[in-house]
């Protein structure tokens, strides 16, 4: 990690406070010379392979197709390969270009398949720094390949116990944010650690994520139901729905359910449809696990209480809710491998979104769907500006910032009502959860686009000056010349106006005085009289 942190400090002073996607869409690399031989098929293919490997890491981290495509173009053009075609569909990357002309023309293709989508912020930050260094022109292709090998071989930045601690803090603080007390927070902390610990153990045996989500949903319900009935026997009352909802949020946060809708908004419908179906299947697995847990708890004799009406928050509790949401989001960033500064910035982004949610949107009496969408705009804007200020990928603040607003409670209420033959209530809650997800996606994309417009670098338009120059014709230039009397003219030019012609110099020789000069001289000083002769 010291190598990549030194790279970040090295390029922080030389580059502006903008993201790599801003540089990709604003201007080509600063060097006009190609560092590779564009007529050599081996060197061109090597550049395309580097760009495809970078795009693979971006896609696995959840980057939208349009942004990944732009950054692939940036890497290729930084090495001189300005003319190449990039196509991304789901998890496949295809890059095409042609070299040579005539009979020596050759078509080159690079095809790469990305593995499954996993939220890993450490690799995303490392590849973002690599893209910056390539754009600065300080990383040749051989060194870029070596760094990509190092990024692919990177292990988790934190030990497993620290990752589990982050998941536990996330679950405990979110349970308090949903209205629980200290006891609910402690129980949610333990349940979240148990859920993610078992899922990590199952992942070592290569169990598909579908069954991991089913297991997580089951574990989120059964301990909460057992502890509720045991505590009720001692006269202690708490709401198990907050514990179950926090466990659902912990599971849903790693699915990037919102990111699949971002692809549809940014005009990648095929990828969006495929990812959305995958996210729906994973979410359905969580709901199925919750349903199995509810039935299993009832079979054991530990039934859950009926759903209570959700009361609006009291305003003197709002600062506590904002603090819990911010701490939980920062813990989620830590569990996903973010660095220290990225954890702090992500927590500040989530806090900004919740402040906007409670103090700006909710007082107007709007519904929760509209409130989440408007608050997501603030999350995208604040996260985009803060991420550009601290030289980190904006995707991190986007994913972490809207996590406190994920509809975990709506998913649980919909599943519980459906199992208890309240179909209208159940389907309305499930539809509400889907609507909140879409509103979060639309709002966070809009806010990030506004931040991109505010902090974008100057666009490189080399032909704009020539276009402005072409508006001035020869006749207009001639008219401007005639209106400017200070323009020097050639003496005695036949095209120069007579009023500006210089006066001819006087001829050499005796000069005869004019009559007016003689008369004026006579009146002014009379001539002296001649002396008289003596008689």
Residue 52 has pLDDT above 50, yes or no: yes
Residue range 345-352: mean pLDDT, rounded: 92
- What pLDDT, in 10s, does the model give residues 406-421? 888 888 888 888 877 7
**Chain CA centroid to CA 179, Å:** 32
- Residue 11's pLDDT band, with cuts at 50, 70 and 90, is very low
Give pLDDT, residue 23. 66
- What pLDDT, in 10s, does the model give residues 210-236? 899 999 999 999 999 999 888 888 888
DSSP 392-449: --HHHHHHHHTGGGS-HHHHHHHHHHHHTT-HHHHHHHHHHHHHHHHHHHHHHHHHHH
Q: Which residues lie below 8 Å from residue 61, measured CB to CB, with a gap of 6+?
A: 117, 118, 119, 120, 121, 123, 124, 395
3-class DSSP state of 192:
helix
Residue 461 vs residue 207, higher pLDDT: 207
Sheet strand arrangement including 92-99: 85-89, 92-99, 106-113
Lowest mean per-residue pLDDT among 307-311, 425-429, 434-438: 307-311
Determine the length of the chain: 535
Q: What angle do CA 187, 192, 195 make, to 5 degrees?
A: 125
At 137, list the tokens: 């022109």
Lowest mean per-residue pLDDT among 136-150, 243-257, 352-366: 243-257
Give pLDDT, residue 186. 92
Give pLDDT, residue 39. 83
296 DSSP 8-state letter: H
In a domain, 501, yes or no: no
Q: Check whether residue 195 and residue 313 sit in a common domain.
A: yes
Mean pLDDT of all residues belonging to the chain = 80
In a domain, 514, yes or no: no
Judged on CB neighbours under 10 Å (0-12, 13-18, 19+), 457 is middle
Contact in structure between 62 and 395 (CB atoms under 8 Å): yes
Q: Which residues lie below 8 Å from residue 5, measured CB to CB, with a gap of 6+?
A: none
At 126, list the tokens: 């490392």
In a domain, 506, yes or no: no
Give pLDDT, residue 326. 92
Give pLDDT, residue 135. 85
Residue range 77-93: mean pLDDT, rounded: 87
Q: Check whether residue 447 and residue 427 sit in a common domain.
A: yes
Largest CA distance in the chain: 172
At 368, list the tokens: 């929760």
Give pLDDT, residue 163. 92
Residue range 237-259: mean pLDDT, rounded: 82
Contact in structure between 20 and 71 (CB atoms under 8 Å): yes
Give pLDDT, residue 137. 81
- Residue 48's pLDDT band, with cuts at 50, 70 and 90, is very high
In a domain, 337, yes or no: yes
Q: Check whether residue 72 and residue 197 sit in a common domain.
A: no
In a domain, 515, yes or no: no
Q: Check whether residue 146 and residue 260 sit in a common domain.
A: no
- Domain, as residue range, for 78: 2-8+17-152
- Percent of residues, the chain, with pLDDT higher than 90: 23
Q: What 3 state SS string does 367-381 have?
A: CHHHHHHHHHHHHHH
Last residue of a domain, one of 109, 135, 152: 152
Residue range 64-70: mean pLDDT, rounded: 88
**Alpha-carbon span 114 to 260, nearest angstrom:** 16
Which residue, chain included where needed, has tokens 């971002």? 262
Q: Check whether residue 99 and residue 146 sit in a common domain.
A: yes
Q: Check whether residue 102 and residue 165 sit in a common domain.
A: no
40 DSSP 8-state letter: -
Distances (CA, A) of 498 to 250, 481, 494, 503: 90, 16, 9, 10
Alpha-carbon torsion, ordered 410, 416, 420, 426, to 10 deg: 20
At 277, list the tokens: 């179906």
Beta strands 106-113; 92-99: pairing state: antiparallel
Q: Check whether residue 238 and residue 334 sit in a common domain.
A: yes
Buried b / exposed e along 228-245 (16+ C-beta atoms within 10 A)? bbeeeeeeeebbbbbbbb
- Residue 498's pLDDT band, with cuts at 50, 70 and 90, is low
**Alpha-carbon span 118 to 57, nearest angstrom:** 10
- Residue 191's pLDDT band, with cuts at 50, 70 and 90, is very high
**Alpha-carbon span 129 to 131, nearest angstrom:** 5
Strand ranges inside 227-383, DSSP E: none
Q: Check whether residue 89 and residue 173 sit in a common domain.
A: no
Q: Check whether residue 126 and residue 169 sit in a common domain.
A: no
- Residue 172's pLDDT band, with cuts at 50, 70 and 90, is very high
Residue 102 has pLDDT above 80, yes or no: no
Give pLDDT, residue 389. 87
Residue 432 has pLDDT above 50, yes or no: yes
Residue range 125-135: mean pLDDT, rounded: 90
Q: What 3 state SS string does 58-81 have?
A: HHHCCCCHHHHHHHHHHHHHHCCC
Give pLDDT, residue 162. 92
Residue 386 vs residue 456, higher pLDDT: 386
Which residue, chain included where needed, has tokens 């491998």? 337
Last residue of a domain, one of 152, 168, 192: 152
Give pLDDT, residue 6. 44
Residue range 480-503: mean pLDDT, rounded: 54
Last residue of a domain, one of 152, 176, 192: 152
3-class DSSP state of 391:
coil
At 386, list the tokens: 């803060």
Residue 487 has pLDDT above 90, yes or no: no
Q: Check whether residue 167 and residue 148 sit in a common domain.
A: no
Residue range 44-66: mean pLDDT, rounded: 90
Q: Check whether residue 294 and residue 210 sit in a common domain.
A: yes
Give pLDDT, residue 323. 92
What backbone torsions phi and psi does residue 96 show, to the nearest 5 degrees? -130, 140
Residue range 20-37: mean pLDDT, rounded: 63
In a domain, 113, yes or no: yes
- Percent of residues, the chain, with pLDDT higher than 70: 77
Residue range 436-449: mean pLDDT, rounded: 88
Q: What 3 state SS string does 80-108 have?
A: CCCCCEEEEECCEEEEEEEECCHHHCEEE
Residue range 54-64: mean pLDDT, rounded: 88
Q: Check whether residue 336 and residue 405 sit in a common domain.
A: yes
In a domain, 324, yes or no: yes
Residue 309 has pLDDT above 80, yes or no: no
Give pLDDT, residue 188. 92
Which residue, chain included where needed, has tokens 């996260």? 383
In a domain, 470, yes or no: no
User: How many domains does the structure of the chain reveal?
Assistant: 2
Lowest mean per-residue pLDDT among 55-69, 365-379, 441-455, 487-501: 487-501
């Amino acid at each position: 990690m010291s190598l990549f942190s030194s790279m970040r400090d090295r390029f922080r002073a030389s580059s502006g406070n903008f993201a790599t996607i801003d540089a990709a869409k604003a201007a080509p690399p600063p060097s006009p010379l190609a560092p590779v031989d564009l007529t050599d098929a081996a060197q061109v293919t090597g550049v395309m392979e580097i760009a495809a490997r970078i795009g693979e890491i971006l896609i696995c981290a959840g980057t939208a197709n349009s942004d990944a495509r732009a950054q692939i173009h940036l890497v290729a053009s930084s090495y001189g390969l300005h003319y190449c075609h990039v196509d991304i569909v789901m998890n496949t990357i295809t890059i095409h270009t042609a070299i040579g002309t005539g009979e020596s023309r050759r078509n080159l293709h690079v095809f790469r398949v990305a593995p499954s989508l996993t939220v890993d912020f450490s690799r995303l930050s490392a590849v973002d720094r690599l893209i910056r260094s390539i754009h600065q022109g300080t990383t040749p292709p051989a060194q870029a390949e070596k760094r990509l090998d190092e990024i692919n071989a990177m292990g988790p930045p934190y030990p497993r116990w620290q990752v589990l601690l982050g998941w536990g803090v996330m679950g405990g603080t979110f349970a308090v944010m949903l209205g629980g007390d200290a006891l609910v927070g402690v129980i949610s902390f333990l349940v979240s650690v148990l859920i993610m610990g078992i899922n990590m153990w199952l992942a070592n045996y290569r169990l598909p994520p579908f069954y991991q989500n089913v297991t997580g949903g089951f574990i989120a319900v059964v301990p909460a139901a057992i502890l509720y009935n045991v505590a009720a026997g001692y006269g202690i009352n708490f709401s198990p729905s907050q514990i179950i909802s926090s466990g659902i949020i912990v599971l849903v946060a790693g699915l990037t359910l919102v990111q699949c809708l971002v692809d549809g908004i940014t005009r990648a419908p095929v990828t969006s449809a495929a990812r959305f179906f995958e996210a729906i299947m994973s979410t359905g697995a969580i709901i199925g696990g919750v349903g199995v847990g509810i039935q299993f708890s009832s079979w054991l004799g530990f039934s859950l209480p009926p759903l209570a009406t959700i009361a609006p928050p009291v305003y003197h509790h709002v600062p506590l809710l904002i603090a819990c949401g911010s701490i939980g989001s920062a813990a989620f960033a830590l569990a996903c491998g973010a660095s220290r500064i990225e954890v702090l910035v992500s927590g500040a982004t989530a806090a900004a979104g919740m402040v906007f949610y409670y103090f700006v949107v909710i007082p107007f009496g709007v519904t929760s769907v509209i409130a989440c969408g408007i608050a997501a705009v603030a999350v995208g804007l604040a996260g985009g500006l803060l991420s550009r200020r601290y030289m980190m990928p904006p995707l991190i603040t986007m994913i972490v910032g809207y996590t406190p607003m994920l509809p975990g409670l709506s998913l649980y209420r919909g599943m519980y009502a459906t199992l208890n033959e309240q179909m209208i209530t159940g389907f309305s809650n499930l539809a509400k959860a889907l609507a909140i997800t879409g509103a979060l996606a639309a709002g966070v994309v809009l806010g990030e686009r506004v931040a991109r417009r505010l902090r974008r670098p100057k666009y490189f338009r080399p032909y704009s000056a020539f276009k402005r120059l072409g508006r001035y014709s020869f006749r207009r230039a001639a008219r401007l010349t005639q209106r400017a009397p200070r323009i020097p003219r050639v003496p005695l030019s036949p095209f120069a106006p007579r009023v500006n012609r210089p006066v001819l110099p006087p001829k050499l020789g005796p000069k005869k005085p004019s009559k007016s000069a003689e008369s004026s001289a006579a009146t002014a000083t009379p001539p002296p009289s001649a002396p008289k002769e003596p008689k």
